[in-house]
Amino acid sequence: MACRIDDIFDRLRRCGRTTLIPFVTAGYPSLDDTTRVLRALEEVGVDIVELGFPFSDPIADGPVIAASMHQALKRGVTPPAIFELVNGLRSQTGLGIVAMVSHSVVRRMGTPAFMAEASGAGFDGIIIPDLDLEGAVEESLGDLAAAGGMSWSLLIAPTTSPERLGRLVGLSRGFVYLLARCGITGERAQAPAVDRRVDAVRRHTDLPVAVGFGISRPEHVAAVTRTADAAVVGSALVRTMGEGADPAQAAVELIRTLSVGLAVRNVSPRG
């Protein structure tokens, strides 16, 4: 089944472009704001977004994203409400929309049912950050994602061994998600050094590589996209949205600022 994420990265590579992937907590500050933010991001050239499902006990999220999830949960944001939001947007947007969701949320609904609901609503990819390699294999999540035309990306940490890296990359489809740092999400002052780890990933696959965790400045974006295909920005965006009188406008202004750091280079399309 065709995957929108594949098509987007193929187009970007043909144009020699790298891209930002903003992370937005669904329902923060409100579901209406989420819709406005996604539409505004597309208007300023964003190709792919991660949409985070609020969860009461986030594993790798720092205080900014954890607080945004807590607020969304207090407002009563549920997976069905998020599916409805995406379904309402799907016919109006060409954005690649990737779900970032805890394994507990997926299991609560039932893994096959969740994956079918996500695909049917119009999600283009799935990331389950707290799922281990063995769980991914046992539940055949990659196969379920492929059947629904969705990308499936497992997180690769800086401490991942070469052998385990090869297995994680082999299970991924659409793009590979490489963590710039260990620990939890959050803004950092120092630009991440990821060139060697991106090269290590590329020895196993020609899938695009996205790098996230701690990216909040144009120089961080430049450091990442020197070798990777995309930079993921989360905490800085969520914080900026929360501080702004207009979350959509605040998001747009930050993305415009960060986009200055995007590398432009010649990259051959896959295949």
pLDDT tens, 57-71?
A: 756 557 899 999 999
Report the alpha-carbon distance of residue 220 to residue 245 in Å, rounded.
26
pLDDT confidence band for 17 (50 / 70 / 90) = very high
The better pLDDT of the pair 181, 28 is held by 28
Give the pLDDT of residue 89.
97
Q: Which residues contact 44 (CB under 8 A, 6 or more apart)?
A: 252, 255, 256, 259
pLDDT at 250: 97
Span 4-255: which CATH code?
3.20.20.70
Average pLDDT, the chain: 90
- The predicted structure's pLDDT at residue 270: 47
Residues 6+ positions from 134 with CB-CB distance below 8 Å: none
Q: Which residues contact 127 (CB under 8 A, 6 or more apart)?
A: 50, 98, 99, 100, 101, 153, 155, 177
Domain ranges of the chain: 4-255
Output the CA torsion sign for 106, 110, 115, 120.
negative
What pLDDT, in 10s, does the model give residues 226-238?
999 999 999 999 9
Contacts of 117 (CB under 8 A, 6+ apart): 79, 83, 109
- What's the pLDDT tens digit per position in 209-261? 999 988 989 999 999 999 999 999 999 999 999 998 999 999 999 999 999 99
Per-residue pLDDT at 269 exceeds 60? no
Q: What is the mean pLDDT of residues 159-183?
A: 88
Q: Which two tokens stand for residue 189?
A: 């002052």
Read off the pLDDT of each residue in 193-203 and give the average, rounded to a whole number. Answer: 91
- Per residue in 177-195, pLDDT (tens digit) is 999 865 444 444 455 678 9
User: For the residues 80-101, what does the mean pLDDT come to?
Assistant: 97
What pLDDT does residue 57 have? 74
User: Which positions are annotated as active-site residues?
Assistant: 50, 61
pLDDT of residue 59: 63
In three-state secondary structure terms, 9 is helix
